[in-house]
Structure formats: structure tokens, C-alpha cells
Amino acid sequence: MKSLKDQFILNNGVGIPCIGFGTWQTHAGRVAVVSVLEALETGYRHIDTAAAYDNEESIGEAISKSGINRKNIFVTSKLWNSNRGYDTTLRAFDESLRKLGLDYLDLYLIHWPATKDDWRNQNNDTWRAFEKLYNEKRIRSIGVSNFKPHHLKPLMEKAEIMPAVNQIEFHPGLMQTETVEFCKKNNILIEAWSPLGSGRILNNPDLIKIAEKYNKSVAQLCIKWCLQNNVLPLPKSITIERIHENAKVFDFIISSQDMDRINMMPHIGSSGLDPDKINF
């Protein structure tokens, strides 16, 4: 990858710009509009939002204000947990599109797997709605988030269309190897949420030492480390300088020794959110 516009290719042939701009905890209104506009002006062409972030309207406003052709921006949103199921998914999708002011999404994700009671059927019913929307060309690609192999397998057994993406927590100190290996084997792109560990790993002395060798910040090191692991990072920032900084990752390469050192780091910086244990 040589620029923000370079793409990974999903299993259905759709191209997805290699760094997504994260927007979780980005407050709706001025903060969201200004930061997303700044990201688009900097060259980001991939925005990650979700119904649960409550900022879809502001993100739509920024996209519209940017004047960039809709076709050149890749927009992801996610179905929230309270809307799982066939009819509820269809309605929630319409609501997300309405808020974003768009007539299609590039990627729609099941935000978290159902894991309790009738969880297999709930996930399968939701997925059937995703497939309908995909077949109607209202979404260019469909995927999941926070699914482990034991959630993915029953969904894939019943699916007509395979998930193109699994968005999971992934950063130095948390590689979720089993899920990543399963997805790579099944041609499902991994997207990294919290690629900077939500800021928790930026003061790690080992990462600081490695980043200094390349004259880069730890944030830049983490983003590049994702890309070199063939994982698509979704760094979030509402700070202009950091939005620029996080895009400057194409002028250095992490050596294979340093990649190994980071890959072997002990468990750090995790959110502690386990899809089998969450209560939301």
C-alpha cells in the first residue's frame, strides 16, 4: 500500500481503501463534521461509523460538504444489537441510510454476534436481511464484527453470500490469532478496531523504542504494523494534527525483525470486551 487511496480487494471484488477513519466516540455535530471533513481533505476515502455511534447524520453532512464524488468514498455502518432479526434489520438499515443521507452503503456489518438463547437463528435471520439488501444492490459488501470462529461457522453454513469483512479489536498486544487465521483461510478481510488500543498502548516503552528507529510516532507504527499484517486499520482522531499524522505511514517499512518483536508482545491494551461476555 502506497497511499490512502490504495485498496484491499474484498472476496466479492469490491475495493476498500486501506485505512478507514474511525468515528466511535466522535460527538455528533460540529466535532464529527469538522473531523470527517478534515479526514476527507487529507485524503482518507473510507469512513467507519455505526448506528450506535449516534453520529451518522453528521458524517453524512461532512460527506456532502466535502464535494467529493460519492463513488470515491467508502462508507461503512453497523447494525446495532437491539435490531437483530430479519424485519428489524431491514428497518434499521433504512434508518442508517436516511441519517447518512445516502442511497447505498459500501459495507454493512453486524456490530456484535448474538450469543445467547437462540443466537444461531438470530444471526442467520439478520444475515438473510443483509443478503437481501446486498442482492438489491443497496449495499456493496456485507460483513460482521466481533465474530469469533464459533460464531462465524454456523452463519457461513447457512449463508448464500460469505461475509467479506470481520472487524475485530486488533493492535500490538492483542492479535486474536485464531480468529485472524480462520478469516484469512476463508478470504474474509480483517479490519482492526482500536488499532491504537484506544490510546492505551501509545506510551508503551517497547513500542516507543521501535517507533523512534523509524522517526515515527507509536500511532504511525501501529497503523503500519496492521497494514504489514494485511489487516485494515481504522484509526480514530478528532485532532487535526493527529488526523494528518495517522495518514503519514507510507514512507517507511517496518523490518521483519521488528514485525516479529511487535507480533510477540505480551497481552496489553485490551478493551476487555469479549463478544461471549458482553451485556449490551
Cβ neighbours of 119 (radius 10 Å): 15
Which residues inside 153-192 make contact with ligand NDP, applying CB under 6 A? 167
CB of 70 to ligand NDP, least distance (A): 20
CB of 127 to ligand NDP, least distance (A): 17
Which residue lies nearer to ligand NDP by CB, 164 or 196? 196
Q: Per the structure block, which three cell numbers stand in for 266?
A: 505480551
Residue of 242, 250, 259, 268 that binds ligand NDP (CB under 6 A) = 242
246 binds ligand NDP (CB under 6 A): yes
199 binds ligand NDP (CB under 6 A): yes
Q: How far apart are CA 137 and CA 156, in angstroms?
A: 21
Catalytic residue numbers read: 53
214 binds ligand NDP (CB under 6 A): no
Closest CA to 82 of 50, 128, 106, 46: 50
CB of 14 to ligand NDP, least distance (A): 19
CB of 167 to ligand NDP, least distance (A): 5
Q: Per the structure block, which three cell numbers stand in for 33?
A: 463534521
Residue of 55, 176, 217, 229 that binds ligand NDP (CB under 6 A) = 217
Binding segment (CB under 6 A) for ligand NDP, from list 17-25, 117-125, 132-140, 181-189: 17-25
Torsion angle in degrees (nearest 10) through CA of 37, 4, 54, 173: -140
Between 100 and 139, how does the x/- string for binding to ligand NDP read (CB under 6 A)? -----------x----------------------------
Binding segment (CB under 6 A) for ligand NDP, from list 10-18, 21-29, 147-155, 248-256: 21-29
Which phi-psi region, left, alpha or beta, contains residue 57 (left: φ > 0; alpha: ψ -120 to 50)?
A: alpha
Binding segment (CB under 6 A) for ligand NDP, from list 7-15, 82-90, 123-131, 236-244: 236-244
Contact 122, 155 (CB under 8 A): no
Q: How far apart are CA 157 and CA 13, in angstroms?
A: 22
Residue count, binding to ligand NDP (CB under 6 A): 28
229 binds ligand NDP (CB under 6 A): no
- Nearest position to ligand NDP, beta carbon: 22
Binding segment (CB under 6 A) for ligand NDP, from list 79-87, 120-128, 157-165, 231-239: 231-239
Which residues inside 33-92 make contact with ligand NDP, applying CB under 6 A? 48
Contact positions vs ligand NDP (CB under 6 A): 22-25, 48, 111, 145-146, 167, 193-199, 202, 217, 219, 234-239, 242, 245-246
